[in-house]
Structure 1
Amino acid sequence: MNNMPQEILTKIYQMLVAPLFKLGETPVSIGSIVQLILSLLFVLVLTRACKNVLKQRLLVRLRIDEGNREAIATIISYSFGTLGLIVVLQTTGFNLASLAVLAGGLGVGIGLGLQDATKNFVSGLTLLLERKLKVGDFVELDTLSGYIREVSIRSTLIRTRDGAYVVVPNSKMAENRIVNWSYDGFKSRIKIPVGVSYDSDPVVVTEILLKSAYMEKSVFHEPTPEVIFKGFMDNSLGFELWVWVNRIDREPQIKSSLNFIIEYNLRQQGINIPFPQLDLWFRNPEVFTSSLLSRSNGQDTLQRVHNGQDTAQRVQQELAKKVSKPLAIRDLLRQVTYFHNFTDIELRQLIEIGYRKRLTESSVLFREGDPGDAFYIILSGSVEVFVEKIDKQLTTLQTGNFFGELSLMLGIPRTASVRALEDSILFVINNKGFEKLLHEQPELAEVIIEELGKHQEELSERQEQLRAMGLVDAAEDDKNPVAWVRKRLKNLFSL
């Protein structure tokens, strides 16, 4: 009985070392196969670890760019893996000469079955060695465009603008024509087609288009923007605005911004953008007129009644539309002192950085002492402002009212709580959005400082309040409230 476990272990050992077949002169057993598999897995793990260490640590410290880091790390890890495979085969007792004989016998079959894999592997090595396409490049392949995220043995991983990841075989990347928009940087040229009515002055149109180009932050002043007169179209004079931009991968956003600016500037100058139209000419108009009159005489009275009813219905619909017309955020923003001189283009940027927040009845938006990190406009519904400690209502704010702008701009904690009296929708600009706006519109900071300077007594009170809370940095503190505001804006929003 005591020898039974030992006998079982002995039999298991004999089964593991018993030769199943011979590979050349080398016997192959279950044990040697298991040892080989475990060794190969170990080499694979070490290879991946080697690649990650090189790509994410060592090469980063050497300040090598992302694309070259990927290529160097991949090639070194492949070499390390190949060397590890040879070492494993030798140490486990496999004769490489025997494997070469076997590989030669199966070469035709392997070549036919794995020709695509081999093709992709060789193409991958070509991409890595040539470095015409690197990780981080923005490329366009047929209808696909995106950023190269990884070049592996078999395929290349591309991340599209929409956030999808597309796996493309390396052979397609090596053989097809690919546009690399960021080969030597993201600077590139985009073209904006514009059509204006035939009564427009081409010189004035040129001036407006160039002015619009310089209003967009992403457009380079050198090379200078150009306006191309494309010719006389069916319904308009055709122009193209050519501009060089700093980020070609943001082409849709830049084109959208330029289109907004161009439309606004053309409208300000009274220049129309025509819509496609078709004129119909009759060769014998008198025949058509007499035929139409003969058919309509018998129905004139009834038609007038219908027309009268239709007119009344249209008037009622127009009145209903005017009554139920929602509040425009643009008009509400203009009521805020700091934004009332903004153009439509600047207000559009302000609207873009904001978002809508829905409040259910009785829900609390913020409480006393919370960070002043957002500014709000009530689009629908109403809220109450109250002091929670003494349970006292201070005021009620209705649709169209705004609040919280001073707390946002000066980083002042909330001095009261706000709660929804009914289901409400608020337009919100938070501190991240406001910081983005100040970086895109540096002149806005001075406008805000100028407006705040008109209320120095209130500024002094706010400054004393923050001092009492220990929230005023010694470097920004100043006896002059306006100078203090300027320093505080710079500190809060990294200007």
Structure 2
Amino acid sequence: MPFAWMVNAVWVAVTAVAIVTLFSRLLKTKLPLGLIGSAILTVVLGQGLIFWFSNPSVPILSTVQRNIWLALAFFLALSTTLRAIKWLVLEILVYRRSIKIPPFLLDISEWFVLLLVVLLTIRLVFGVELTGLLVTSTVASAIIGLALQDTLGNLISGISLQIEAPFAVDDWVEIDGIEGIIVRQNWRTLTLLTREDHRVMLTNSTVAQSKIINYSRPTNRQIQTVYLTLSESYSPNLVKNTLIASVQRLDDVKLHPRLRSHVVSMQDGCVTYGLSYWLDDYSDKIVARDKVLTRAWFNLHRAGIHIPDPTGNFTLNMIPADAVEQNRLAEQRHMFSVMRSLDWLNMLNETQLKQLADHSAVASYTGGEQLVKQGDPGDSLFIITRGAVSVYVRSADGRSVYANQLNKGDFFGEMSLLTGEARSASIRANEETEVIIIDKEAFTNVLTQDPSILERFVTALERRQEGLSQSLQQDSAMRRREMENGRDAFIQRIRRYLRVP
């Protein structure tokens, strides 16, 4: 009887491998080497035993030796069959249809079936009744069960988590207050990789009892909100528009269509604002928040909106009564010093330079922030006093193409200042950059007192033409076309726009 079971097991293994081989041909894939080796070993051992036991000339083994060899062949044959079935499941369901099956579930199933195979081998090959074995092992089973209580609890929790599937490997989650990406899940633990590259292992029972926040489901796109508390002295509409403007030109951050910027609360003389935006990849949360808050800081400061001390603590300092006026005068002296060092403004005397500085403004921009956009209206000229900017022009197919870099002392936007033409290029800060902005009103005030400055100014721009960047060369090309039709006509056009006699 055991010999017949062994023969049947070998033929089952051979049939399973044949079926797997057929499927591998149909699926155009290769059989794993482990399965091939196991199948060959099963066939060789099975055929060898069949020849041994069927040939009377071969020495007869003892009953115990015979049963050991039969058990080995039987166990190896069923193990090969299990390998074949597992390979088919992985190949058809996991690899072909992208159905996520945790590896530890397959391992547990394989261990359970192998345990049944061992019990069947003991019963069919050795003829041992399992009832007595199970009864005599009741006390031992109880002791082992108590010792493995936590382990079994983690195993059952892991199976329930897999059935409910609240997360999967590579998902960003927050479990028990710990945020990270799931890198591994097995029958006992779950492993998270935090943003600080720390590996945190949580038992499945802990995970099952904790609040789970999945940032990757149902999609990777999440809404993020940053909060800023400002003084109630600023108009909410001004603050909200300033915050919106700080994010609108970020290429990789998009505002939420409905929430955008909104008032969250008002208390203790302060107003808390929220700025909501889409986050397409949760792994970029810190980087995106840094960009949004940095842009918001620069935009708020350019608008004259300052962030108060959130603690409510005040430091008493001896500040002169005219401190604001002194700061304004220091800024004007700084602008005057910069303007005086520029050769293309040397046609202005000291009084005229001071007047121009008094009516100009200083603005700071962070790296990546856009100062002007091609096609937008404008009436101001920018002088770089610190940092550097890149010039981008729009190609015929609509792409933004890098043209050149402008550094300290360079300027751009003179055609918008002189004629009101739209910006001919987009300018983006490469790093934290400070510029002096001379607008139409400031320049007109100087020209009104001395109209002859205009012709000298145009002449100075012509002399500087060779040193201009590509974007400014486009402005110069327009200026040359104007001058081909007559220099006087071009100057008259500027006079009409600036309303200078």
TM-score, length of structure 1 as denominator length? 0.46
TM-score (norm 2): 0.45
Which of the pair has more CA radius of gyration? Answer: 2
